[in-house]
Amino acid sequence: MENLLDLSIGELRRLLDNKEITSQEITRAYLERIKEVDPRIKSYVTVTDDLAMAQAREADERIKRGEIAPLTGIPLGIKDVICTKDVKTTCSSRMLENFFPPYDATVIEKLNSQGAVMLGKLNMDEFAMGSSTENSAFFETRNPWDTERIPGGSSGGSAASVAARLCVASLGSDTGGSIRQPASHCGVVGLKPTYGMVSRFGLVAFASSLDQIGPLARNVEDCAILLEAISGHDERDSTSIPKVSFSRDGVLEKDIKGLKVGFPKEYFIEGLQQEVEEAVKGAINLFESLGAEVKEVSLPHTEYAIATYYIIATAEASSNLSRYDGVKYGFRAKEYENLMDMYKKTRAQGFGPEVKRRIMLGTYCLSAGYYDAFYKKASQVRTLIINDFKNAFKEVDIIAAPVAPTTAFKLGEKVNDPLKMYLSDIFTIPVNLAGIPGLSMPCGFDQKGLPIGIQLMAGHLQEKTLLRTAYNLQEALKLSFKWPEV
């Protein structure tokens, strides 16, 4: 049998259902690989060996009884920002270093109901704030294609673990590109669903009007299987869309004749790495050979997206992170003189520099006399960005663009220049501001052998069209994929 670790969800499903292999064998193979390889990649904050084997045994029993769901017995990794009952959930922060949630997030309940296996919790930028996974309070994760480089962020552990074959697929979260940008840098497929399609109940909040949980996987089919499993209305999340669910029927249809694909002129700008531009444009040209119609579109307010995002996201972060005060749960400073001193010392010692920077920015934006000038103005510009997409989607079905301006940069290269770091998200942020779905998939490699991703975007709740387009492009690109030998 070919190497177990090379198989996708779909391939493992067939072997499991035909009883050619057990979930325990697959899970054991992954746990052994984590022991052997992860010390070099550092994608896991917590490995749940005993729980994973117990879940695998239970999955094998289910399969014997014929109670089979698409993810029964499949070993997955979970970003450490998603609550897992009685399993440490740290958000890669000292503030939650010893936090064991008393409940499961909705997405975890959904995975458990299918009998999926959880291998562990994956490293990230602290509280999902960052683009390189260098802001983790514990350690930086490395890119499996070149361990001197960043895997992207904030879901760096989620992307690196899939690329290094340390799990079959994973869940991440995306607030401004945190699934798509690391997916691009690690050469995997990553999907940010429509805002409200996947419940945020149990997702530790960063910016509540932008955060969305989504899958990272080896191919488009696996992404669709995971999205089907985790999507749906949840009354515990007030932003969850009523009567919404996603079915993957028709996603793998080989036909996009007559589909209209737009490329936004505002995304092909100065500073875009030449190899990235060539690979993305090459993939866009492939659409024409598949019978799609390709045309230029305009998203005129793109240049304001970064400024808008860093006001809205930091303002919401300032509000959300005010709960970490040393009183209710999480870290508390050991020595203090009075209540106010305890608050100050707890927050000073518990948060890392990037989180503090964003809390201060956000608090300033929300302060008396500045609210109208910053937060209100940013919300108005956000509406203009939403309207840009609405207008573009009147002309086209899909918008195709780069995911990131460059391939993965070196560890430490941008750590001391927050503005340079923030610009890594220039092409992904507008999707979050507009609440639409966006997907990153591999479309080539640069001369150093680093993966390049193309970003596909679709209208509100148009995941099926998005995934079908991505699947057709994936088949047409025929990338000869050899996963990195770590």
Sign of CA dihedral 123, 127, 131, 137: negative
Kindly write down the DSSP assignment for every residue of 305-337, as one continuous string: HHHHHHHHHHHHHHHHGGG-SSSSSS---S--S
Active-site residue flag, 247 = no
Closest C-alpha to 401, from 257, 476, 297: 297
Chain position carrying tokens 């309940």: 109
**pLDDT for position 63:** 98
DSSP assigned state of 201: T
Contacts of 64 (CB under 8 A, 6+ apart): none
How many other CB atoms sit within 10 Å of the CB of residue 100?
13
Whether the model pTM is above 0.85: yes
Residue ranges of domains in the chain: 1-486
Active-site residue flag, 178 = yes
Main-chain phi, psi angles of 434, to 5 degrees: -90, -15
Q: Are 373 and 311 in contact (CB under 8 A)?
A: no
Those residues of the chain that have pLDDT short of 50 are 1
Burial category of 285 from C-beta neighbours within 10 Å (exposed 0-12, middle 13-18, buried 19 and up):
exposed
**pLDDT for position 1:** 43
**pLDDT for position 84:** 98
- Kindly name the residue from 23, 43, 132, 154 that is annotated as catalytic: 154
How many other CB atoms sit within 10 Å of the CB of residue 377?
15
Burial category of 36 from C-beta neighbours within 10 Å (exposed 0-12, middle 13-18, buried 19 and up):
exposed
**pLDDT for position 309:** 97
- Kindly name the residue from 79, 110, 121, 414 that is annotated as catalytic: 79
Chain position carrying tokens 């770590």: 486
Integer Cα distance of 323 and 329 in angstroms: 9
Active-site residue flag, 344 = no
Q: Are 150 and 184 in contact (CB under 8 A)?
A: no
3-state secondary structure at position 383: helix
**pLDDT for position 479:** 82
- Kindly name the residue from 131, 132, 158, 178 that is annotated as catalytic: 178
Q: Are 89 and 101 in contact (CB under 8 A)?
A: yes
Amino acid identity at 69: A
Architecture of domain 1-486: Alpha-Beta Complex (3.90)
**pLDDT for position 76:** 98
